[in-house]
Structures are given as structure tokens and as C-alpha cells.
Chains A and B, each alone.
Chain A
Amino acid sequence: MTETDETTGPPVTLIDAIDMSKLDPKFREKIKSMPNGEALAACFACSTCTAACPTANMWKFKPHQLIRMILLGMREEVLSSNEIWLCLTCYECQERCPQKVRVTDIFFDCKNLAAEEGNIPANVLALAKELLTKGQLYTVTADWEREDMGLEPEVPGLSVEAIKRILKDTRTKKLVGGEE
């Protein structure tokens, strides 16, 4: 686990009372219907995922808690949490789950739902805009380096139009809006 200098307070367990009126019983079904969400309910809260996570020690909600929160229907808390965006997508949790819950993939599903509701970190939204308007994440700035290595100056075979065309009909366009 990566070490932090500051020790932020507990809770190791969820100590705040859960407001039952805010629970969304359909949330778990929604996640189960999303890519690789099928095994969600198999979680028996052993917290192996949390033990495997290199950064969970800095999270307010640990991976096993997030899975539990999904099962309980705590939609708002999960989808507005920073944790889902801080996931390294390293798959250490998912690989170790004894119940074959695809934890990392489920966090991808959560991020998609959060994005749909407009919950997306500014820098990630900036990447969405980059893809929609430029059609690539990196642009050649030092073509002399490529030429030094005997390569053609531009990225070979790359179509920036194809991705712009596709993403204009998907959520990316909705997220970026009319600012392109």
C-alpha cells in the first residue's frame, strides 16, 4: 500500500446511520445488468478486495464497502463518491475476489452511471473534450524525434475523424455539450 503522510480519520466501518428513505432498491439490478456486473450479489463482504487495493487506505469508502453500498441501494453516495474515480483500474481486487465479483469492472459501470448524471471530474471531462474535438489523446509535437528514428513524421494510419464521428453519437458528446 502506498503511504500517506497525513492520517485522515476513520471510519474503518460505516458508522454513519443509513437513511433508508434515500435507498434505491433498483440500483443493484441496474449494476447487475451492466457489463460484468452479473456476479455483484455473490459478494460476501470478506474484504479481500480492500486488502488487495494499493490505495484503499486513503479512501473513505473501501472497495468492499462500495460493493456493499451498491447492494444496499446507496446509489447517491456511490455515484457521487471520489473513490470510483480514484480507482487505479489495476484489477488487483477483481483478480483476488473468491466470489468472482468483477469489482474493477463494476467500478467502471459506476463511473459510466455517474458520468450519465453529470458527475465527472473536470480533468476527465477535459479528456472527453480532447477526444471529441481532436480525435486523439496525444498529438505529435516533436516530429524531429520521429524523423531521427527513421519514422514518418505523422502518426502512421491514425484517423482522427473516425473517433470524432463515433463519439458524436454517444455519451461523450452529451458530456462535452455544445462547447466543441
Chain B
Amino acid sequence: MVVKSKLPTYNLYIGCSVPVNYPNYEAAMLKVAQAFDMELIYLEDVACCGSPNLRAFDYMGWMTVNARTLAIADKNGYDIVTPCNGCFASLKDVYHHLKHDDETRTKINKTLKKEGLEFKGTAKPRHFVEALYHDIGIDEIKKKITKPLDGVGIAIHYGCHLLRPADVTEFKPEYLQELVEATGASVVEYPLWKQCCGATVLPVDEDLAIRLARDKLKSMKEAGAVFATVVCPACGNQLDLQQLGLKESYGEIYNLPVLVYPQILGLALGMDDEEVGLGMNRVPANPILDHLSD
């Protein structure tokens, strides 16, 4: 029999958007991790992933920066978890590329050697919610729920870079769906569930980005969603913050609170609204408190 002798331990890659724009996401994630005895160690001396933008204009620079982060995690060998789809995509894509391309790996490792580092590929990059799903598991999560939600309808926006390309991300929609359902909420299916939030195109065509966010919100609302959940700060900006913009540009009020998943789970685990930073959500998210049972 295998005895679990120690806590599951991870390297935490926090990125730059979560800590800057979503300290509530960061804090809620840390508290949820603590509730399940997951030990998260902030990676030290790591660089910004550069986002898909860096990949677009400087592929080698993007590879090197992210290979460096992976190599730093290789030093202790613990898997990397991140709360951001953009960071996840960068790290996972580079990891995948380097695992399958010996020539590039040799080239990148030559550069990393100057920094005293080597990409070995032992520390796997993972999204925080995927680690929750696989390493903690739905049953264990359910056991700790003390304030289940009352079946209220939540629409999930997964975010493109969490799901696709599937052969690289290895993330299945069911994971997040089951995680949401574990809190007692129901998952609202809506036609545009796969569609992009528009974040990537913001620097090139803001109007288009706004329109994409609008499409998503409309689709969610029409399907009867009372709340929405995201697991990425860029998607959060587009769906939560952008609702303020839509009020100005289209005169439309959606009033759809958007919570990051660890906020929802945290509340169901019995944390209070301040612990999960509910007050920082742009569209007031306090109505979710009415859906928690005592």
C-alpha cells in the first residue's frame, strides 16, 4: 500500500496579470490550495511569459524565456501550476515543443547554459484547476464542501488556451465542469461556450475584441446563466471589466457577475466574501452569497 507521506507540492508560476489585476484570484487560489493541503511554492527569479504576443513576433525569444522558467522548475522537479491560461499556454506549448524537437532543445539549452540552467522536462506545466481535478479529485473536494451552492446556474468560459490545441493542453472541458458541479452549482450550457473572449486581439482591434466579449455575454445570459466563471485574468478582463465598457459603447447592461473558479470553490468551502476578495470583482458578485446554504 502506498502511504501518502507528504503534501502534494508544486512550483507556482503566478505570471504578471494575475498578481497585478487579480490579487483576489491569487489569494483565493492560495486559500483553496491550503484547504486541500497543496503546497504552492512561488517560483523565484522567473520572467514574464510574454503572452501569445511575444510568440507572434519573436518565436525564439518566447521559447527561450519560457524554457528558462521550465528549467528553473526542473531544479526541484515539482510540477508548475499557474492560474493564467496565457501563462499556461506559453509554458505548455514550449514544453511540448522542446519535448518533441531534439534540435531546438539542444539549441535552447546552449543558451540556457549561460544562465546555469538546463531544460530537462521533469517539471510539467499545469493549470491550477487541472491539478485540483487530478491530484485532489472531485470526491475529496466534495467532502470538504460545507456551504454548497443551491444549484444556481453558472456558465463556464474555459478560455481558448486552456482547451486548445487539445493535443498540447491535454485539458478536457469535463474537468472544470465537474469542479463547478462539485460546489453544488449547475453548469449552464450555452451555444458559444467554445468561443474566444477576444482578449488576444485587443491591441490590434479593440472594437472587435469588445464585440466578441458581447457575443459571449449575450449567449450566456440568453441560456439562463446567473453567474459566469473564468480561470484566466485575460478572459476575466474581457467578460467582467468589459461589461462596464459595453454599457458605454452599446448602452447594454448585462449584470452578469464573473467569478474566478477558486472564489466559487472557496465560498463553498466556507470562506467568507472578504477571504476570496469578492469586493474586487467589477460586476458586483455579492449576489452569489444568497445562493450558499448554511
A residues near B (Cβ < 8 Å) are: 2-4, 35, 54-55, 58, 82, 85-92, 94-95, 102, 104-105, 108-109, 111-112, 115, 120-121, 123-128, 131, 135-141, 145-146, 148-151, 155-160, 162-163, 166-167, 170-172, 175
Contact = CB atoms under 8 A, between A and B. Distances in A.
Nearest to B51: A137
A2 B57 contact: no
B20 A163 contact: no
Contacts of B47: 135, 158-160, 162-163, 166
Contact of B65 (A4, A105, A167): A167
A94 B68 contact: no
A35 B59 contact: yes
Nearest to A162: B47
Q: Name the 3 nearest CB pairs between A and B, nearest first.
A: A91-B164, A170-B61, A163-B47
Contact of A136 (B48, B55, B164): B48
B20 A155 contact: yes
A24 to B, nearest CB: 20
A160 B55 CA distance: 18
Interface of B: 14, 16-17, 19-21, 23-24, 26-27, 42-48, 50-61, 64-65, 68, 97, 111, 115, 160-161, 163-166, 194-196, 198, 200-201, 203-205, 208, 211-212, 215, 277, 280
Contacts, number: 190
A163 B48 contact: yes
Of listed A87, A158, A160, residue having the most chain B CB within 10 A = A158
A171 B60 contact: yes
A104 B165 contact: yes
A88 B212 contact: yes
Contacts of B55: 108
Chain B at the A interface: SS class? helix
A95 B44 CA distance: 35
A120 B195 contact: no
A55 B192 CA distance: 13
Given A137-B16, A159-B45, A167 B58 contact: yes
A158 B46 contact: yes
A125 B277 CA distance: 35
Contacts of A136: 16, 48
A97 B26 CA distance: 37
Contact of A166 (B57, B65, B163): B65
A171 B21 contact: no
Contacts of A121: 203-204
Nearest to A119: B57
Given A91-B160, A108-B56, A148-B23, A157 B46 contact: yes
